Structure 1
């Protein structure tokens, strides 16, 4: 059974009725506007600028919210550049329309990796419901992301989920699985903080894995909060052989230092 673009878009939370798929090709200038085209060394800003300028004749009258942009590659194939969000038309002189576009995090893990077939050489855009049947030709391995170090680690909940799931963060999981210690969760919606620990047989990776899965890690204090507002960081890490009383003392210290019992989310 051939994998198509449809399940990838749906898994990314993109409504097919609210998206179009675009395939850019390297050209000297934009066919409709006469503006400079794009090339292999074009920057993200240049490609975004190229995309935001569209003809009044050959584009949907009311473009949808999401534009899934590919770059032509090797004849009938195209590689994902980015998913961008259309925030509306900002000018129209009768020939050229300019749109307010911003990069979206949808399918960010597939940028530069996802390659699809494109069998209609003259069609440079199509509705996502049509492109949904385009075959997936390949998904390249993600480039590894270097681990930044324990003292530089700050993750929102979406990034934490990616770290626990994606191949490119394998070294991060190895590092987090090698230590126990004290961590901090900040609810960025109101600034309240929660000090927690991973000790004994439970590494930081295992402990944070539960937060990635259910958002609250089993903590009563966090159950009714929105994990999308959480920010995770490490306060202190220990070797797994460290005696439990030493880790408990460090946890207690940070609860006092950050006053998370009276003004934060810790109950004890």
Structure 2
């Protein structure tokens, strides 16, 4: 049985009965609309702006559109490639020709952006209920483009980002880099600014240590159990070659605990 869009929407937490699917086509808008239209070189920001401005005619666009919009870009005559999933927070302007909506970008289906291509059975239709689009076939899902590793001293990750790094193919080079070093890392609880200083040494690389945090949020640390990892931010304070003596790594860890005062005013217990 061929894969359709429906299961992908549901897996992403989207209720097809409460979502809108849009397929933008490359086109020049009429002058009275005030819009520039779209073309093959339109930027992400231009597509976003184009999406948030819709016709004031309720025959062209729903009077009360749902909260979630799944937006595709036309590809060929009968296909569409996923651009993004946005959240509609309501109409903010209406000049009788154009209605402008407050939209917010989401991370929903982010791993499928520019990768997911579906068949579009109704070439003259550019919008529809997701319940209808749910039956459209998935034509293909392209391999994710690799994301270059930014360097150890520029690495700052939310917990969601960390989970993606440990799981997704596009971060393979990141996992290789993190596997090659020991080091001292910092976890900041962004809700209150408290720090936790930790280390990876012995038989655990940074990748192995952070993989545990990606899995359960606390990495086995008593100090972090019971806290919500969604507010954690991960970064590296210092990296070491695996041949570095453990005592040197211990000294560095103690230094950063003192420097950041993470024992008295943070999340370290010792």
TM class, shorter-length: over 0.9
Find the counterpart in structure 2 of residue 69 from structure 1. 71
What does residue range 16-35 of structure 1 map to in structure 2 within 5 Å? 16-29=16-29, 33=33, 35=35
Verify: 1:217 aligned to 2:211, yes or no: no
How many residues are matched? 268
Of 86, 89, 98, which aligns to 1:87? 89
Of 153, 158, 161, which aligns to 2:160? 158
Find the counterpart in structure 2 of residue 11 from structure 1. 11
Deviations along 1:178-218, whole A, 9 cap, x unmatched? 11111000001000000011111111101101111111111
1:93 Cα deviation from its structure 2 partner: 3.5
Verify: 1:263 aligned to 2:265, yes or no: yes
Partner Cα separation in structure 2 for residue 240 and residue 38 of structure 1:
51
Find the counterpart in structure 2 of residue 185 from structure 1. 187
1:16 Cα deviation from its structure 2 partner: 2.2
Superposition RMSD on alpha carbons, in Å?
Answer: 1.6
The answer to whether the Cα contact below 8 Å between 1:21 and 1:131 also exists between their aligned partners in 2 is yes
1:267 Cα deviation from its structure 2 partner: 0.7
Q: TM-score, normalised by structure 2?
A: 0.94
Verify: 1:146 aligned to 2:148, yes or no: yes
The answer to whether the Cα contact below 8 Å between 1:32 and 1:54 also exists between their aligned partners in 2 is no
Deviations along 1:227-250, whole A, 9 cap, x unmatched? 111000011111222222221121
Partner Cα separation in structure 1 for residue 244 and residue 15 of structure 2:
50
Partner Cα separation in structure 1 for residue 16 and residue 200 of structure 2:
42
Q: TM-score, normalised by structure 1?
A: 0.95
Partner Cα separation in structure 1 for residue 174 and residue 18 of structure 2:
35
Find the counterpart in structure 1 of residue 39 from structure 2. 39
